Amino acid sequence: MTKTSKIVLAVLAVLLVAIGGGYVGAGFRGESASATSGSAQGSLLEDIKKRGELRVGVAIAPPMTVQQPDGTLGGPNLIPLEELAKQLGVKLVPVAAEWKNIVAGLQANRYDFAANLDYTVERSLAIGFTDPVYQYQGVFVVKADSPFKTVEDLLANGGQIATAQGSSPEKALQGHTSNIMPVDSYSNAISAVQAGRTIAEFTDLPTAESQAQADPSLKILVPEPELYSASAAYGVPATIDPRSLQIVNIAIERAQKSGQLTQAYEKVGYVEIDNLGDLRKK
């Protein structure tokens, strides 16, 4: 571990301790800890500590968010929150959600964070966001024997394209075609392609890779130039306090720079778009 990493981890630990004691911020205003304890009680991370649970809304988008063999929800995207939960001494509790209602669930306080959520202006009018956990590009998934070799050919065909209802890729695709079949999950979207009900699926790159790796009869068609790219972060309540947001962002930065996320991506077979190899439609 580098000296810088040790310093950042130490800062994170100090901030977490300060939350419990209500000390952060008091010194800057010349107030005592007791004078600030009332406002400190309302912070997001203090509420999580009192509850003993860090709740995260999870909509399925393999391999970043998945339903694991034991039925629980997980995936690489949850790693920063898993580490944060350990630091807080609480249990991480994934809560099932769908893309069409994941923001509404956060607003209704069903969970504290919404996982794997793209920045959009529409969403940011309703909720807040952390720093990005990763970036990705939107791509199409087609059958390997599909006649379409370019996105222009695909869109000109006029056939239906499946995508997850309420997802950012769905919103992006609406700017290029009206031939869209929205479904409740990416699993059902790719099933529509496999069954021949649609000519393609439009999704995020990690999900496309997971689907093509699981089924060799599927290939990834990459838009050139790109139709959509995004930063995937955690959705947070619009009223989140600055101190809690800072600590969550530190947890994200540590998971990125410590190599935890890179190692997790490698385990699930996620590669950058320039390294798709045989997964790419030729």
Residue carrying structure tokens 């699926």: 201
Q: Is residue 280 part of a domain?
A: no
The helix (H) or strand (E) run that includes residue 142 is: strand 134-143
Question: Which alpha helices (DSSP H) does the chain contain, by range?
Answer: 3-21, 26-29, 33-40, 44-51, 79-88, 102-107, 121-124, 151-157, 168-173, 186-194, 205-214, 242-257, 260-267
Kindly report, residue by residue over 36-76, the tens digit of the pLDDT: 433 443 499 999 999 999 999 999 999 999 999 999 999 99
Residues 16 and 116 in one domain: yes
Residues 140 and 216 in one domain: yes
Q: Can you give the residue range of the structural domain that contains 168?
A: 136-229
Return d(Cα 88, Cα 12) in angstroms, integer: 11
Cβ count near 149 (within 10 Å)? 12
Q: What percent of the chain clears pLDDT 90, i.e. is strictly above it?
A: 83
**Are residue 106 and residue 205 in the same domain, yes or no?**
no
Q: Are residues 18 and 73 in the same domain?
A: yes
pLDDT at 33 over 80: no
Close Cβ partners of 213 (under 8 Å, ≥ 6 residues apart): 269, 279
Q: Sign of the CA dihedral 184, 185, 186, 190?
A: negative
Tokens of 280: 């790419």
- Total Cβ atoms within 10 A of residue 94: 21
- Domain identity same for 204 and 119: no
Query: Does the structure show a pLDDT above 80 at 165?
Result: yes
Output the pLDDT for position 223. 96
Mark whether 128 and 238 lie in a shared domain: yes
Whether 282 is in a domain gets the answer no
For residue 239, pLDDT beyond 90: yes
Report helix, strand or coil for 128: strand
State both tokens at 15: 């901030």
Q: Is the pLDDT score of 20 beyond 70?
A: no
Q: How far apart are CA 152 and CA 169, in angstroms?
A: 17
Nearest to 97 by CA among 126, 53, 139, 55: 55
CATH of the domain at 196: 3.40.190.10
pLDDT band at 1 (very low <50, low <70, confident <90, very high): low
Q: Give me the DSSP letters along 73-93.
A: EE-GGGHHHHHHHHHHT-EEE
Better-predicted residue by pLDDT, 255 or 3: 255
Single-letter amino acid, residue 116? N
Q: Is the pLDDT at 171 greater than 80, yes or no?
A: yes
- For tokens 């390997």, the residue is 144
Give the span between the Cα atoms of 26 and 99, in whole angstroms.
40
246 & 216 share domain: no
Same domain, 174 and 88: no
